[in-house]
Structure 1
């Protein structure tokens, strides 16, 4: 087998994809495939579940996202001209590429959101390392220009994406769901590939797993758009071909471009992201100059200790030093500093917070940092006294 699905949507493409991330790898295995991609619309929420499900089935996970490219800069959000966007498939080649993909996706939401989470050329270029890009569906920028019979502009954009991601890391995507627009565009994409040397790749825009699932998917899209199944003006897919097809089915669609089929396996072979779930991954807190994380946590705790206790006794000192030693040994210093930082910010801005509990509910470290409002020494003594009385 040498075909891999590289354009796949799951239930995390909300009200648009109905494929379950835990079922997709099972179907790929049943079809004899060795790899499978996940490329949800604008989000990466399903990546971890998908990765684990693939590993369980002996399928290699290819991790990606279908992003939205802003027509101008991502910070520009003016009317219809910026509401428009272009689709682009991004696949992580390795762990560094995965980190860059997360940066792109996060930036698209935090800075670029305007109807959709959007990214622009500048930031694609900034975080393009170790990422493979595919030109996507008819919503892709190259395809959009071809649909408007603007071949030169399509060629210009294709070369731009190749320049952004590097030679060999950008592919022109062929799709055939029985739509006339796709048949028209595919012919020109093959010509464009021959002219520019940009390779082709064949994909099926998977939104559901089995062909028979198309009716249920229609209902899902109706829910998304607030329409009924009987509404003649509802948004609907133009065929029932958006399912996880076999290699034989895909080969039959592109007899004139067999290299586009072979390239799917080539791309999958280049994508090797590995997660280690036995290691704790915590972010690093940026401490003020002159402090290590351990030193800064101790500094903040000692400040809080003398602010909260009028006369610091040996009991408080021993309790604080013991807890700090445990936190340091467990590697949770930065975690406590991060929680302290956002609780401090909330308090300064008048944002209401709860009394603070979690796994460190009775912690004097949490109390001296201001994460909790409950004095653990005071309430420990009350608890011990009541326990003695009960006995």
Structure 2
């Protein structure tokens, strides 16, 4: 380790400082047991992904789910990234996107499962604009949402850079600080913008001022990102107002 330090591997030093027993032993001298998952209390590495046996039906209608949260979006998504891919395969979807809030937390698991199951993937994120306080654990967080889907590896790189910059600027966990003009300058031409959920700027404008206000907000996104890079997102949850709103 250099200098006057003892001949001790870093892993062993970390184990001693953490008060953990050696592998295969417990503090009481018995065998160590654990769930074998990715909990840091038991293992430094996840086990390789093992795909379940499932039948993928032929797609009757070409469809890709482009707005989907995993359980890395706390209180919004409920399924592991792998489970989203598995369900996409069961449904015969053409592709599925992972768009967690303000991060790419689940993309490795998502990609591993998709590779094994032959499901095409899209990578993106839903950015939280205009936050004033951290939103950790808040069921209905504040802010305006903007969903970006990366176009290729360059789009992925730019989107990751944009998110990292905002997270560092916020200086608190759960409070990224974005500047919309800066986001557009960094990513325009390399992402596809979806107008988002009920917290998207277009939907919020529609709620406040009707179709004219929504059209103005949509035009603003087109000016920032280019009209060819903006798509209106329609959602139908079988609610009474869905048809009229869409």
TM-score by length of 1: 0.42
Kept in 2, the 8 Å contact 1:124–1:164? The answer is no
Kept in 2, the 8 Å contact 1:147–1:181? The answer is no
Equivalent of 1:98, from 132, 156, 161? 156
1:125 aligns with 184
Greater alpha carbon shift after TM alignment, 49-58 vs 145-154? 145-154
Over the residues paired in the alignment, what is the CA RMSD in angstroms?
2.1
Kept in 2, the 8 Å contact 1:138–1:182? The answer is no
Matched pairs, number: 177
2:201 aligns with 141
Report the CA distance between 1:34 and its aligned residue.
Answer: 2.7
Report the CA distance between 1:95 and its aligned residue.
Answer: 0.6
1:180 is paired with a residue whose SS is coil
Q: State whether structure 2 residue 93 is matched by structure 1 residue 22.
A: no
Q: Which runs of 5+ in 2 are unaligned?
A: 1-58, 134-140
Report the CA distance between 1:123 and its aligned residue.
Answer: 1.4
Equivalent of 1:53, from 113, 122, 144? 113
Report the CA distance between 1:6 and its aligned residue.
Answer: 0.5
Q: Distance in 2 between the 1:182 and 1:143 partners?
A: 12
2:156 is paired with a residue whose SS is helix
Q: Which runs of 5+ in 1 are unaligned?
A: 187-391
Report the CA distance between 1:105 and its aligned residue.
Answer: 1.2
Report the CA distance between 1:19 and its aligned residue.
Answer: 1.2
Larger radius of gyration: 1
Q: Describe the superposition over 1:21-78 as per-residue Cα deviations: whole angstroms up to 9, x where unpaired.
A: 11211211111123110001222110111111111110111001111122xxx8xx59
Q: Distance in 1 between the 2:204 and 2:171 partners?
A: 21
TM-score by length of 2: 0.66
Q: Which has the higher contact order (CA 8 A, sep 6+)?
A: 1
Q: Describe the superposition over 1:315-357 as per-residue Cα deviations: whole angstroms up to 9, x where unpaired.
A: xxxxxxxxxxxxxxxxxxxxxxxxxxxxxxxxxxxxxxxxxxx
Report the CA distance between 1:175 and its aligned residue.
Answer: 0.4
1:14 is paired with a residue whose SS is coil
Kept in 1, the 8 Å contact 2:123–2:150? The answer is yes
Report the CA distance between 1:87 and its aligned residue.
Answer: 1.0
Report the CA distance between 1:184 and its aligned residue.
Answer: 3.2
Q: Distance in 2 between the 1:180 and 1:149 partners?
A: 20
More helix by share: 1
Structure 1 residues 38 and 69, CA gap change in structure 2 (3 angstroms): same
